[in-house]
Amino acid sequence: MATSVAGTDWDLLSSYAGLLSLACISIYAGSHGSLSTRSTRAPGAETEEEEEEEIDRLSSQDAYLFPVIGSAVLFGLYLIVKYFGKEWITWLLQWYFTIAGVGSVGKSLIALSRWTMGQSRWQKFDKVQFLVLKGPRELLSISLRTPSLFLIPLGSIPSVLYTFGGSATRRSALLTDLLALSFSHNALSLLKLDSFKTGCVLLSGLFLYDIWWVFGTEVMVKVATSLDVPIKLLWPKSVVFSTERGFTMLGLGDIVIPGMFIAMALRYDYHRTSQRVQQANVSRVYFFATLFAYVAGLVATMTVMHVFRKAQPALLYLSPACILSFVLTALARGEFAEAWAWTDEAGEDKAESKSLARPHTNGKVKDGDEDAVGQDIVTDATTTSLAEAEPLTDQETRKRPKKKRA
């Protein structure tokens, strides 16, 4: 939801432009963060030893439930604010986002550092492992490159200043934006849709959700303006960043929800490139089509808000813009059936690594599989442990603890 107060001048227009820029930067970074290292790795390049564990995608069933769960949470917050006051729930949420912000900002700083240095240079840093053991069994393993040991504590500074700082920094717009940008970046990197069908279901459901709670009731506006937590982007209504006139505001939901659809379009662009016999540079046609549609939708939201001097449900404009951009682009390229049938399953990457263990049964390799196993060990650095230890059975492989990565 976007909100503003009356005023037609360059100060207000600059505020709209700043808010639009922050939203687009957040979606661009988060979309590229959603790419798996396998999809971006150059042919023949070594894999990263600490590649992240792929999480399951959001399905159509999840998308159908999203507006229902969101409505229940939103209305619950409204009842608390209305009948019990906003002080204690604001205090509780501020502590929650303060703790979450430490990890979120730290993770975003690590991603930014890795992108700035390049993957090959990042891998040259020493790796530090923290193990939690119970007897001989490994319960938890966290791998960090040495710069992460500095970046994670550095990431705690915005959260500490936001909650415990003086009057000049406590809950300031700058710190709110830093925390909100990190939350949206990590949300887009982790929350992934499994298909364009799921994306269309999600956007359509939240299109109706946003219209009802903004136009049909006072719930959305009441909650958004009452809770002082970093779940929104702020920009001062001033060319010189003066805060006298207040701020324009954009909720993180209006960034993350369309951003998930845009991030999926980018992954589909990489998928299309991977299917070519001769892989060239990635043509990010679906990504840019949906991103430009998002910009157009957000500009339309701000224009209507500015003209009618009333808060607008941003998804009223963003959802149709993103869906139409995908449909029209796919139809124009003659790829609609293929794109609609495509599924971005996390299991594809897992199956690739699990297939290496299939020839092994009780420590034995089936006849005819020796060459295939040897080739996999050479081409995939993540399986070097197969050459260094006795082969595991399928049952033992499944019991192996998952590793987390910072």
The set of catalytic residues is 210, 254
Q: In what helix (H) or strand (E) does residue 364 lie, and over which residues does it extend?
A: strand 364-365
133 Cβ partners below 8 Å, 6+ apart? 139
For strands 137-145 and 232-236, give the pairing.
unpaired
Q: Look at phi and psi of residue 7 and say left if phi exceeds 0, alpha if psi is from -120 to 50, else beta.
A: left
Cβ–Cβ under 8 Å, residues 287 and 277: no
C-alpha to C-alpha distance for 161 and 350, rounded to whole angstroms: 41
- Alpha helix ranges (H) inside 247-314: 253-274, 285-308
Burial (CB < 10 A; 0-12, 13-18, 19+), residue 362, is exposed
Sheet holding 127-134, edge to edge: 127-134, 137-145, 403-405
Q: Which whole-number Å values give the CA distances from 212 to 60, 105, 215, 318, 324, in the listed order? A: 22, 33, 6, 16, 22
